[in-house]
């Protein structure tokens, strides 16, 4: 039976995550996502890779390992410096990551390999960004957590607690999301018994497409246009009356509240007053929901995770072309968890196609 885009087709059984869009539920390893928003990046990664929550000793160990593996190899540095300036960061990331292929990453994939790829990804992104900005490349700070170090390497300064907490929560909430296009790409590649590097490279290439990992530039444009809280109601009302789409609201999977947006809002409220951009996002969301209820009753348009992702990126003054790479730095954990799971009970993916071409032609 043909199903366009494989919609509705169950391609694998998994214990990693579960999405119920109609109920607004996202589960990691049995835990609803709202229960996990307090976890560090390291702790959430441990949960997805090992299948259970880390002990205090586990958390310390995984943090140490991630900090140990941050440095690029000499070959990776050479490649990074040789790539043309006009090459986008996702293409750079895909190319530099692929240089890690070799006997060290042969089948079967391991959690140790996953740790290495996860640790090095933010370094590639930050080094490339600093190169393009004409700034010196920074050494990783092993005393900082995974997300704090990423922010430090991007900006050259220690982040505020409000911004670091917001970005870390965002990365925890987006590191896994079921059988999305990039996770499927990773599993298909892994199903041939190819190596983890190849599977992750496939996933990065898939994430690069604007239909999957595109930046929420529309949300950033909206926040820039509003600028200050006093302008929010006027601008949002005007857009809704004109019938314009309000960026950052509604989701193709979640038909009710996006549970990731709810968890991010909770984290931002905990640090309210710590960053003006994040405070503005909280106000704009509240005003937008009020106006949507007034002007579009019954539409059930709720904030999606991209709304707050855009606010977080704006708070650290990063350009929109860093959004998808940052998304990738989180999602690599989920991809590697899928590859590990695929390897445990592997069958090569080999779907059928339905021929609709001509027949019985003669020369």
Question: To 10 degrees, the CA torsion angle through 106, 175, 122, 202?
Answer: 40
Catalytic residue among 251, 285, 338, 341: 251
Instruction: Give the C-alpha separation, 175 to 331, whole Å.
Output: 4
Tell me, rounded to whole angstroms, the distance of Cα 319 from its chain centroid: 16
Instruction: Give the C-alpha separation, 44 to 53, whole Å.
Output: 8
Which DSSP string corresponds to 328-359? HHHHHHHHHHHHHHHHHT-----------S--
Active site residue 306: yes
Catalytic residue among 42, 148, 306, 341: 306
DSSP category for residue 24: T
318 CB neighbour count, 10 Å cutoff: 18
Instruction: Give the C-alpha separation, 310 to 161, whole Å.
Output: 18
Instruction: Give the C-alpha separation, 330 to 264, whole Å.
Output: 15
Which H/E stretch holds residue 26? strand 25-28
Strands (E), the chain: 17-20, 25-28, 31-32
Residue 140's SS3 state is coil
Instruction: Give the C-alpha separation, 234 to 288, whole Å.
Output: 11
Instruction: Give the C-alpha separation, 357 to 111, whole Å.
Output: 45
DSSP category for residue 32: E
Whether the CB-CB separation of 335 and 203 falls below 8 Å is answered with: yes
Alpha-helical segments (H) within 175-275: 181-191, 196-207, 210-213, 217-226, 232-241, 259-270
Tell me the sheet residues that pair with 20.
25
Between the alpha carbon of residue 42 and those of residues 49, 119, 214, 345, the distances in Å are 11, 10, 25, 26
Instruction: Give the C-alpha separation, 15 to 178, whole Å.
Output: 10
Instruction: Give the C-alpha separation, 40 to 43, whole Å.
Output: 5
The catalytic site residues sit at 251, 306
């Amino acid at each position: 039976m043909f199903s366009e885009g494989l919609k509705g087709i169950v391609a694998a059984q998994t214990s990693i995550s579960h999405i119920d869009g109609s109920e607004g539920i996202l589960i990691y390893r049995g835990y609803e996502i709202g229960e996990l928003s307090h976890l560090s990046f390291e702790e959430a990664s441990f949960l997805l890779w090992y299948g259970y929550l880390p002990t205090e000793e586990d958390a310390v160990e995984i943090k140490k390992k991630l900090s140990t593996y941050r440095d690029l190899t000499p070959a990776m540095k050479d490649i990074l410096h040789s790539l043309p300036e006009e090459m986008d960061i996702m293409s750079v990331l895909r190319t530099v990551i692929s240089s890690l292929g070799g006997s060290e990453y042969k089948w079967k994939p391991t959690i140790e390999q996953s740790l290495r790829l996860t640790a090095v990804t933010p370094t590639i992104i930050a080094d490339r960004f600093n190169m393009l900005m004409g700034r010196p490349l920074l050494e990783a700070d092993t005393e900082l957590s995974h997300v704090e170090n990423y922010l430090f390497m991007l900006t050259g300064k220690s982040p505020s607690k409000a911004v670091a907490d917001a970005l870390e929560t965002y990365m925890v909430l987006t590191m896994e999301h079921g059988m999305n296009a990039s996770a499927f790409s990773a599993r298909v590649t892994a199903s041939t018994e190819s190596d983890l590097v190849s599977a992750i490279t496939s996933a990065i290439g898939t994430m690069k497409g604007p239909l999957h990992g595109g930046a929420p530039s529309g949300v950033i444009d909206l926040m820039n246009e509003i600028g200050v809280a006093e302008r929010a109601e006027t601008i949002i009302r005007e857009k809704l009356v004109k019938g314009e789409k309000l960026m950052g609201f509604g989701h193709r999977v979640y038909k009710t509240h996006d549970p990731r947006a709810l968890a991010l809002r909770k984290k931002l409220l905990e640090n309210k007053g710590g960053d003006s951009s994040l405070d503005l996002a909280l106000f704009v969301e509240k005003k937008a929901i009020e106006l949507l209820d007034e002007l579009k009753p019954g539409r059930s348009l709720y904030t999606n995770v991209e709304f707050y992702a855009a606010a977080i990126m704006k708070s650290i003054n990063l350009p929109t072309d860093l959004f998808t790479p940052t998304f990738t730095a989180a999602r690599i954990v989920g991809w590697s968890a899928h590859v590990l799971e695929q390897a445990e009970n592997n069958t090569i993916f080999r779907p059928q196609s339905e021929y609709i071409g001509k027949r019985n032609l003669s020369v």
